[in-house]
Amino acid sequence: MNMREKKKLVMVGNGMAGVRTIEHVLKLAPDTYEITIFGAEPYPNYNRIMLSSVLAGGADMQEIVINDWDWYTENYIHLHTGDAVTVIDTTNRYVMSESGVRAPYDALILATGSNPFMLPLPGANKEGVIGFRDINDCNLMMEASKKYSKAAVIGGGLLGLEAARGLLHLGMDVSVIHINSYLMERQLDEPAAKLLQKELEAQGMKFLMQKQTSGIVGGRRAEGLQFADGTELSADLIVMAVGIKPNIELAKSSGIEVGRGIIVNDYLETSIPEIYAVGECAEHRGIAYGLVAPLYEQGNVLAKRLAGLDAPGYEGSVTSTKLKVSGVDVFSAGYFNESPQTRSLRIQDDIEGTYKKIVLQDDRLVGAVLFGDTSDGAELFSKIKSGESVAGKEKELLLGYPTGQPAGGNSQSARLEAMANDEIICGCNGVTKGTIVDAVRNGCSSVGEIKSCTKASGSCGGCKPLVAGLLELYGDGPSVEPVKEGICGCTTLSRDEIVESIRTMGLKSVKEVIHVLDWNQPEGCSKCRPSLNYYLGMIWPTEYRDEKESRFANERYHANIQKDGTFSVVPRIYGGVTSPADLKRIAEVAEKYEVPMVKFTGGQRIDLLGVKKDDLPKVWEELDMPSGHAYGKTLRTVKTCVGSTFCRFGTQDSISMGIRLEKAFERLNTPGKVKLAVSGCPRNCAEATIKDLGVVAIDGGWEIYVGGNGGVKVRAADLLCTVKSEDEVMEWTAAYLQYYREQASWNERTAQWLERIGLDTIKAALSDAEERQALAERIKETLSHTTDPWKEIIENKELRKNFESLQGVQV
């Protein structure tokens, strides 16, 4: 690849609209540009629409990533994360970042997105007052929920309700403050909004309607809200979700014409040649769009412009909103509030909890609102955009099937067939019907394959029935299995099918599995490669050589990447018990490498935060301590209380039991991270009953609890058994962990696994002494072939030499 001949394309912003533009450029003009992207956040491109799912515990960061780190590497994109651009020199054509990176450009895309609008209230700068716009905001809310109990969300729009639902899930008492008389007035009419409010109140949400906030009270931290009517509301956390404003400061300071957003023409060109703007930061014909579909339409037009294609410009978008608000489906499009020039039809079913309204003007459909059942949304939106006459078809549109025809039959197929090819099916990713149909006709034969090829249904999943319907309609008919999905979009095979194939066919490498089992992506992806690496190691513990390139970078570097690009290093401290010599060694390393923060963790260990990547090998070498595996899917910690060694309530020696467990099972690879704890008496100071496996001392023995979780989805552990001796604790623990290793799906925590298969299944599997001992022997055999992997990098010159070449950092 000859970089010298390529033009330099620089993009400021690493969000959904900008990266979608780059995807199209790579397809339309793959050899035209050398691409550099700057992102202010320390993450790859992720789906901001799914932040509410992260907050509510339905997804983690890895699941909402659209383009992982490997994608940038594979497409030769120079990516700078956590490094905002501060200067654009429009004369000499280069940008400069906060860290001093200078990048010249031939073409520059501004995709700076938007910022949350923070009300200029007295006290708005207090601690505990935040917006809801990015992953960092989610993290702040999750941390606050651990310390505080009452939350107030200002704003009853979509963003505010999603934030409130997430906080409710985190166990907080949540009140939503809204200045209007009903919720989501931009997307819903009053009857639909009242139905939504009723549903959310049933979930535990509280509402203060027609309330204007006048100030935030408290000391250093917010303690509550004051309202214009003189009333107050106490709150420990205040989330402002009252809207967004385009991020135009960089453009404005660079002399680029701005209004509400960065002003662009129909080809997304700004007032300065070779500088473009796309997404929420752009203002086109006086409008700055905030929905994903228009932003993707802009990206398509801009990509064609950059590729030198002669194509129509962007003429603006007719928008619709189809979304799931806190578990309830809603849809709106066009002008859904009545006026003297319009007439409307509506139908409401209080038993089914559905509502539908259509608005007509001059025999044309101009707006619609759906609540509870949004299956007709695409067809209605198509009619609104086309502007065709619907005279005589009004009731058909309202009821969803031809007048006089009973409900039933394959009405969805008829609707899908009649739908225009440019109709958006997947609103999260801006995928049209035509794109999905093309994918089906080009060989995609499952929803999973369509998701892999087009990204349709790859986010919230709400469009999956429509994708499946299109597959059945335009595929091979009923013989197609439209909903069969594999562990990722690369395959339709399930976890059990893959594991069985590895065993019966004797497959011994990730590449061999991908080739023999006919993956549709020849190199796999960031989801399946780590899982295959785990399954192979679990099945062939003595023969399989762990593939470092198939692990996430946190596991490869033996450190957690932080938001500023530095790393967190956690050495192993068995059972939370250390020595003066180890403490001195840690302190000396922290001083020598100028570690910004040394922190005690919740797992009774010491965390060195802010270590530079270049220093990682030397830090580990000079610590000369085993890795604490604070980053991988393995045994993390064994938390202990002081037990009978010092405590007057202790009935057993919990410290020695905990250290014995940790030394026995450290370095054990598991499907998900595993945390253990040992409490010396039923007072349970080590919190053993919310761990993956917890041991609690009782008079004359020990209780073993399993399947606990203390994270976002708190789950109390179940009692597995009661035993008398430490040796029995070790045997049952070994058997349980090995059974989990052999039966669970990769990335499935013990709590999820136990709920899926049931405690009785686990008890039955472990109750037989011979089978229990066999499981314990298998885990012992696996552990006999493990060494501290960080020492491999220190001692193996070739590995250490290649340390810096490890690519594809996965957060």
Counting other chains too, the contacts that 674-677 makes at CB distance below 8 Å and 24 or more residues apart are 674/634, 674/635, 674/636, 674/737, 674/750, 675/603, 675/635, 675/636, 675/637, 675/638, 675/639, 675/710, 676/635, 676/637, 676/638, 676/639, 676/733, 677/638, 677/639, 677/640
Rounded Cα–Cα distance for residues 300 and 269 (Å): 14
Q: Which tokens belong to 808? A: 């594809």
Is 647 within any annotated ligand binding site? yes
| The one-letter amino acid at 383 | K
Q: Which tokens belong to 80? A: 């700078």
How many Cα atoms are found within 13 Å in the side-chain-facing hemisphere of 693?
26
Using alpha carbons only, give the angle 640, 642, 646 rounded to the nearest 5 degrees: 170
Residue 455 Ramachandran class (φ > 0 left, ψ -120 to 50 alpha, else beta) = left
Is 525 within any annotated ligand binding site? no
DSSP string for 269-298: B-SSTTEEE-STTEEETTB---SHHHHHHH
Using the CB atoms, write b or e for 80-96: b if 16+ within 10 Å. Answer: bbbbbbeebebeebbbe
**Nearest 10 degrees: CA dihedral of 731, 737, 741, 747?**
-170
DSSP letter (8 states) at residue 488 = B
Classified as helix, coil or strand, 172 is: coil
Classified as helix, coil or strand, 680 is: coil
Give the residue carrying structure tokens 């052999």.
742
| The one-letter amino acid at 304 | K
DSSP string for 18-63: HHHHHHHHHHH-TTTEEEEEEESSSS-EE-GGGHHHHHTTS--HHH
Contact 292, 50 (CB under 8 A): no
Contact 799, 793 (CB under 8 A): yes
First to last CA, the chain: 29
Q: Which tokens belong to 121? A: 């209230």
**Measured in whole angstroms, how far is the alpha carbon of residue 326 from the centre of its chain?**
17
Is 721 within any annotated ligand binding site? no
Q: Which of 534, 556, 557 is nearest to 544 (CA)?
A: 534
Contact 201, 207 (CB under 8 A): yes
3-state helix vs strand vs coil in the chain, percent to 5: 35, 25, 40
* Residue 381: φ, ψ to 5°: -65, -40
Is 488 within any annotated ligand binding site? no
Using CA atoms, how far residue 629 sits from 123, 569, 667, 672, 753, in Å, is 42, 9, 8, 12, 22
Q: For the chain, how big is the Rg over CA atoms in Å?
A: 29
Counting other chains too, the contacts that 693-696 makes at CB distance below 8 Å and 24 or more residues apart are 693/717, 693/733, 693/736, 693/737, 693/750, 695/654, 695/657, 695/658, 695/661, 695/729, 695/733
Question: Which stretch of DSSP H or E encloses residue 302?
Answer: helix 292-306
Rounded Cα–Cα distance for residues 143 and 790 (Å): 31
Binding-site entries for [4Fe-4S] cluster: 641, 647, 681, 685
The binding site for siroheme comprises: 685
- Binding site, annotated residues: 641, 647, 681, 685
